[in-house]
Amino acid sequence: MKNILIVDDDQINNKMLSKKLEKRGYNIIQAFNGTDCLTIMESEQIVDIILLDIMMPDLSGSEVLKKLRETHSQFELPVIMVTGKSDTEDIVENLRLGANDYIVKPVNSEVAEARINTQLKLVQLQEDSLKKAELETAHAMIVTYNHEINNPLTIALGLLRKVELNQEDTAIVEKNIPRIKKSLKRIVDIVKKIETISKGTEVKQAEYAKKDKMIKLD
C-alpha cells in the first residue's frame, strides 16, 4: 500500500480528499501546514508521494518544495502541486522548482488518482531501470575478472609448475621467476583498476561475446 502525504491548510478539503483516496486503497498521511510537512519528512515515516497545496499561511507550497528538493529528487519523492490558481506563470514556476505535476482545485479524486498512479509508475520504472543497470554492471564485472585475471593467472601457475619440476636447473628457475612476477603484477594491476572503477560513478563497458559485456579497463 502506497503512502500519500496530503498537505493542505484547509482541513475540510484535506479530509475529504483523504477519505476519497483511502477508499481507493491508499494509506493517507495528513499535514495542515508546510512546517508539519517538513517535520513528517524528517521523521521515519515512509512517504511515497506528496500532494502539496501551493497557498498556505506559514510556508507556501513553493517554499516547502524548495526544501524538499534539497534532499529528495523528483524520482525519489514525486510532488504534485495542488493549486486554486490557473495562472500559467505560477504553475511553470513550481514545475521549474522540481514539482512533478499539478492539479487544479477543486480536486477531482479520479484525476488525482490518475496523476498519482502515473508518478508512482514512473518511479517504479526508474527503480527497475537502475536495478537492471546494476545487474548488468555486476555481470560485466564477473566477466572482466574471468577474462582479465584468468589469462595471467594461468601463465603464472604454468610457469610456477615448470619451476617446481626443475628446481635443480638454475637456468630454468632464473628464466621463469621474472615471468611469474610479471604475471602476478599484471593480476594485481587488474584488481586495482577494477577496484577503482567499482568506486566510480561511470562504468564503461565493451563487447566481449555475443551476449556478454565486460568492463573496459583503460
Q: Where are the domains of the chain?
A: 3-107, 129-215
- Dihedral sign for Cα 47, 48, 53, 59, please: positive
Count of CB atoms situated within 10 Å of the CB of 188: 10
pTM of the model: 0.65
* Nearest CA among 98, 60, 106 for reference residue 76: 98
Per residue in 108-146, pLDDT (tens digit) is 999 999 999 999 999 998 888 877 777 776 667 667 666
pLDDT value at 169 more than 90? no
The three cell numbers locating residue 78? 514525486
Q: Is 3 helix (H, G, I), strand (E, B) or coil?
A: strand
Separation CA 14–CA 31 (nearest Å): 8
pLDDT value at 148 more than 80? no
34, 60 contact by CB (below 8 A)? yes
The answer to which of 130-134, 156-160, 180-184, 209-213 has the lowest mean pLDDT is 209-213
Q: Which residue has the cell 513528517?
A: 40
Q: Evaluate whether the domain defined by 3-107 bears CATH number 3.40.50.300.
A: no
Q: 171: pLDDT confidence band, cut at 50, 70 and 90?
A: confident
The three cell numbers locating residue 42? 524528517
153, 191 contact by CB (below 8 A)? no
Average pLDDT over all residues of the chain: 84
Given this model, what pLDDT does residue 126 score?
86
* Nearest CA among 51, 47, 43 for reference residue 2: 47
Q: 17: pLDDT confidence band, cut at 50, 70 and 90?
A: very high
The three cell numbers locating residue 208? 566481449
Per residue in 55-113, pLDDT (tens digit) is 998 899 999 999 999 999 999 999 999 998 767 788 899 999 999 999 998 899 999 99
Query: Which residue(s) pair with 30 in the sheet?
Result: 6
The three cell numbers locating residue 83? 493549486
Given this model, what pLDDT does residue 43 score?
93
